[in-house]
Amino acid sequence: MDAQEAQRIKTLLDTRQPNHGLPRPFYHDELLYLAEMEAIWRQGWLFAGHSCQVPNPGDYFLYNVEGDSVIIVRGDDGEIHALFNVCRHRGSVICQEQEGSVKRFICPYHQWTYDRRGNLLLQRGMQEDLDKTQLGLHRAHAREVEGMIFISLAEMPVDFDPIEKAITPVARPQGLARGRVAKIMDFDVASNWKLVWENNRECYHCNVNHPHYIKANFDHYNADDAIPRVVERLKSVTTRLEFKLAAQGKSLRDETGMTEFPDPDHGIWYAANRTPLVEGYVSESMDGQQVAPLMGDYTDPEVGTLRIRALPNFWIHASCDHSVAVRLTPHGLSHTDIRMIWLVDGKAVEGRDYDLEKLLPFWLLTAEQDWKICTNQQAGVSSHAYTPGPLSTYKEYNLDRFIRWYLQEMRVFVEQ
């Protein structure tokens, strides 16, 4: 990006009025989109998938991020590796299947062959003095935390240790690393990636758009509508649950409203917490009842719900019996590829211990309602008549936090 382009973006970033949405160009400007890819998507840590998707050495899946295809593979050392899916000879992609299991990676073009860590093993027909050690597949950074795989395409990514420290104690009892995939679903949502996050960061829309979600949760109540009866209910549910959880070394968050996230003032892009479900709900299922065996270390279904989020592309909701991860990947200005991954306990057997008809609907319905909302909003912000309106300080404080985080990341990038 040249100085003139950086200046144009800087000027654009300054057009956002405090406590308002983002102006139209934020969803339409190609140059801004390219800058976002550099400033945010190729800098930060991206959730790629769960380690239980690749249980054995050689198991892999691809994660494609705007032109970069990355092979997430379990190596012979048992570690997860992230290798760029680009041959070191003349650049062909190597893996063409989205997932599979390999002994070696063999390029389809001239059959250069790499081991499961990306080291070059064979290159027929080439001169003898070639230094193979210099021709391994390019690597991306990969970290696994409690069964969640994060990668970074940056040369020098931001420190991962703080997120690992924050997530580990809260996520550990869920046993995601010992889970199994019950279902993976992919969606192409006709919406800019920021709109998907903006929608995720408020529950102002929940009462009307997610009638089943609000039956299970308290977090759609805010300071303006948490009437004393609701506060009392939350308090009593929390006290009961806290008592149980304390005995298991887990803690709970007991305020009305959504957890405040992100924290742009302190550069916090990740969060993990547990919140209570309403009385009678032990799982985020349609009737609140357990829909699969208990996961991980749980011995009692009453553990509330575990929520983890990491910008720019990940959140997960987990009940005592299943988890649902959501992975976002921008695909042009007005499309986002969204993958949802349902996990159950590793020992659970479909048909015997769980049925997809009971497991999927709660979050699938919620997701489809949200994707529709985002598509509607993308269509609206495309209009020349669109101007950002004011945000509710009661209900959209997290949306404001997201926008401020975004603007800050972008400013750091264009000012360097």
> Where along the sequence are the contacts to ligand FES (CB under 6 A)?
87, 89-90, 92, 107, 109-110, 112
Q: Which does 370 bind (CB under 5 to 8 A by kind): Fe ion, ligand FES, none?
A: Fe ion
Contacts with Fe ion by CB under 5 A: the residue count is 1
Q: Which does 89 bind (CB under 5 to 8 A by kind): ligand FES, Fe ion, none?
A: ligand FES
| 130's tokens | 């070639």
Binding segment (CB under 5 A) for Fe ion, from list 10-18, 217-225, 346-354, 363-371: 363-371
Cα 379 → chain centroid: 24
Q: Which does 358 bind (CB under 5 to 8 A by kind): ligand FES, Fe ion, none?
A: none
Q: Which is nearer to Fe ion, 146 or 370 (CB)?
A: 370
Q: Which is nearer to ligand FES, 112 or 261 (CB)?
A: 112
Least separation, in Å, of the C-beta of 102 and ligand FES? 15
CB pairs under 8 A, 24+ apart, for 57-63? Answer: 57/116, 58/101, 58/102, 58/103, 58/116, 59/99, 59/100, 59/101, 60/95, 60/99, 60/100, 60/101, 60/102, 61/98, 61/99, 62/95, 62/97, 62/98, 62/99, 63/151, 63/329
Here's the x/- map for Fe ion, 365-404, by CB under 5 A: it reads as: -----x----------------------------------
The answer to whether residues 60 and 95 touch, using CB atoms and an 8 Å cutoff, is yes
Least separation, in Å, of the C-beta of 88 and ligand FES? 8
Least separation, in Å, of the C-beta of 125 and ligand FES? 10
Q: Which does 212 bind (CB under 5 to 8 A by kind): Fe ion, ligand FES, none?
A: none
Partnered with residue 114 across adjacent β-strands are 105, 120
| 14's tokens | 């300054």
Calculate the CA dihedral of residues 411, 193, 322, 56 and round it to 10 degrees: -80
CB neighbours of residue 186 within 10 Å: 12
Interaction residues for Fe ion, span 166-225 (CB under 5 A): none
Q: Which is nearer to ligand FES, 126 or 227 (CB)?
A: 126
**Residues lying near Fe ion in the complex (CB under 5 A):** 370
